[in-house]
């Protein structure tokens, strides 16, 4: 691999070699291991994000590697593990079963009506737990091998196993969460590991001392109550409030520094692309008008690094099954990879 690296030209044509960005690394030589998790069983609006990891991978070879924040960032070694096809196949099966449950609930009928769907719900919750366990074991193994880890979803339920693995190594870390939704629902639609419940489940981990949510704009009464009653453990930056400040003349840098001030030294970034303006990710599962520009998000992450905090991991979720969404997603993954590397150099 070192010989390959010696001959590698970062300005050359991106090689379609099965790895992100066509980089010449494998599991052993890479510092960052990326897991694609093609899972979206519980999505309640638009489907297609299970193909997000593949879309990101396909688009990534078109990216140029020079990064203004970390020009040599690619040299850290980035390797994307082969996307597990068995998970993708199970996703297709369980997605259809979940649709039966969602349809029943939308009709206002109980799951116990004929035919009784409660056993189906149990089966789906078990399948989701198995995916969580898979990512937990893979992440834990990589961390024990001295690697950094990133995850690409699928829907936003997928990174839970990774959070659990990080919690074994970091007794106190915060999550910076970019999303249109708070994802603080308790077992939404009966699905214990729903995409709308990821942060509710994350908050069960005592190691996560802070959750700072940015760009929220589609939220339930119960979730607002959860935030308000969290004693400051959850801090919300609602998109309309951010916009009001910006339109009143407040600088984005001031808002970013305030957001960052709530976070501890070790920070995990959870990025749902629907936190962005939907023109950037129109095929995402649950698009919502409003949101951040891509460079606004990158500026926030950059300020996080400049503050001296360390990025210990990240996930990118809800990338839609479209070429453009994959292109945007690949840029987010590469930027976060380089900023995480930069934050851990100091």
Residue 72 labeled ligand binder: no
Residue 3 labeled ligand binder: no
- DSSP letter at 219 equals -
d(CA 163, CA 208): 9
Residue 124 CA: distances (Å) to CA of 18, 50, 138, 156, 282: 31, 16, 21, 16, 28
Residue 228 labeled ligand binder: no
Greatest alpha-carbon span in the chain = 65
> Which helix H or strand E contains 55, and what residues bound it?
helix 52-60
- DSSP letter at 19 equals S
Name 178's bridge partners. 214, 271
Residue 198 CA: distances (Å) to CA of 95, 155, 228, 283: 18, 10, 18, 21
Residue 156 labeled ligand binder: yes
**Sign for the pseudo-dihedral over CA of 212, 78, 35, 46:** positive
Print the SS3 string covering 271-300: EEHHHECHHHCCCCCCCCCCCECHHHHHHH
Residue 183 CA: distances (Å) to CA of 145, 195, 276: 31, 7, 16
Residue 69 labeled ligand binder: no
Q: What is the dihedral of CA 160, 327, 330, 335, to 10 degrees?
A: -110
Residue 58 labeled ligand binder: no
Instruction: Show binding-site residues.
Output: 156, 179, 181, 183, 272, 274
Task: Could you list the residues known to form a binding site for Mn(2+), using ranges.
Answer: 156, 179, 181, 183, 272, 274
């Amino acid at each position: 691999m070192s010989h390959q690296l010696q001959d590698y030209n970062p300005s050359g044509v991106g090689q379609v070699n099965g790895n992100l960005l066509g980089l010449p690394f494998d599991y052993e030589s890479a510092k960052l291991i990326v897991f694609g998790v093609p899972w979206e069983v519980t999505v309640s609006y638009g489907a297609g994000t299970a193909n997000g990891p593949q879309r990101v991978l396909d688009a990534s070879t078109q990216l140029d590697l020079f990064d203004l924040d970390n020009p040599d960032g690619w040299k850290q070694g980035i390797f994307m593990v082969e996307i597990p096809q068995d998970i993708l196949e199970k996703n297709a099966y369980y997605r259809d079963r979940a649709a039966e449950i969602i349809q029943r609930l939308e009709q206002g009928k109980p799951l116990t009506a004929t035919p009784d769907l409660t056993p189906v719900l149990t089966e789906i919750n078990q399948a989701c737990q198995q995916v969580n366990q898979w990512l937990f074991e893979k992440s834990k193994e990589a961390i024990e091998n001295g690697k950094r880890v990133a995850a690409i979803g699928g829907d936003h339920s997928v990174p839970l196993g990774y959070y659990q693995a990080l919690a074994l190594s970091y007794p106190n870390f915060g999550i910076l969460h970019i999303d249109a939704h708070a994802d603080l629902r308790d077992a939404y639609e009966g699905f214990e590991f729903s995409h709308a419940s990821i942060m509710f489940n994350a908050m069960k981990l005592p190691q996560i001392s802070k959750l700072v949510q940015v760009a929220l704009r589609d939220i339930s009464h119960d979730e607002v109550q959860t935030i308000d009653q969290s004693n400051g453990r959850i801090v919300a930056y609602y998109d309309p409030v951010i916009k009001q400040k910006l339109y009143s003349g407040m600088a984005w840098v001031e808002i970013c520094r305030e957001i960052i001030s709530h976070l501890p030294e070790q920070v995990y970034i959870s990025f749902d692309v629907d936190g962005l303006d939907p023109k950037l990710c129109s095929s995402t599962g649950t698009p919502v008008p409003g949101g951040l520009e891509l460079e606004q998000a990158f500026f926030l992450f950059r300020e996080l690094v400049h503050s001296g905090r360390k990025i210990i991991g990240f996930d990118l979720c809800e990338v839609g099954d479209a070429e453009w969404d994959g292109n945007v997603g690949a840029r987010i993954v590469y930027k976060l990879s380089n900023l995480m590397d930069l934050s851990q150099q100091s």
